[in-house]
Amino acid sequence: MGIDASLSSTGVCIAKSNSEIIEIIETSVIQTKKDDFKNEDLRIFYICKELAKKMIDNKVNRVVIEEQFMARNSKTVLSLRKMLGAIMYLVYEMGLELDYLYPTTVRKLLLNNGKAKKEEVAKYIRGNIIDIGEYSDKAGKKKTSDIYDATAIAVAYDKKIKNEGE
């Protein structure tokens, strides 16, 4: 399971891999709005409950999360780190494996270019793995960037493991 963690729109990709191919089982997004929750902790708790359902329903055995770079907004950094901590607890509580990939590592694994743009990564995923629809980073129902990011994380991790096995 690849996860692009975010309080407002967490991208999820559930994939199954064998020695030759990676099969995408599900791509989805868990969207939340600040006003729908009493506090940030309950919002994170809700996201983790939704992730747990997906992990159980799909018999997930490994979770790969995008490791976050430190942003300039310290409140955002603290919120994301709190969320990553909650996901980490969930994963280990369920007895699953957990790994992290930096965005630059994902881009290097997929495109051999750590400085590639998100749109280029999405184009690679769309052309080679699964067509989730037009890449969009705009808020709303047609936003696909979080799903593409989660899928890229899952696919890049699969490539990393296969490369290490060679």
DSSP class per residue in 89-139: HHHHHTT-EEEEE-HHHHHHHHHS-TT--HHHHHHHHHHHT----S---SS
Residue ranges, the chain, pLDDT below 50 = none
pLDDT of residue 90: 98
pLDDT of residue 73: 66
> Per the structure block, which two tokens stand in for 28?
């989805």
pLDDT of residue 19: 76
pLDDT of residue 72: 65
b/e 45-82 (16+ beta carbons within 10 angstroms → b): eebbebbbebbeeeebebbbbbbbeeeeeeeeeebbee
pLDDT of residue 63: 98
Look at strands 97-101 and 62-66 and give their pairing: parallel
The Cα 98–Cα 100 span in angstroms is: 7
Q: Which amino acid is at 13?
A: C
- Location of structure tokens 């709303």: 140
pLDDT of residue 140: 64
pTM over 0.95: no
pLDDT of residue 161: 92
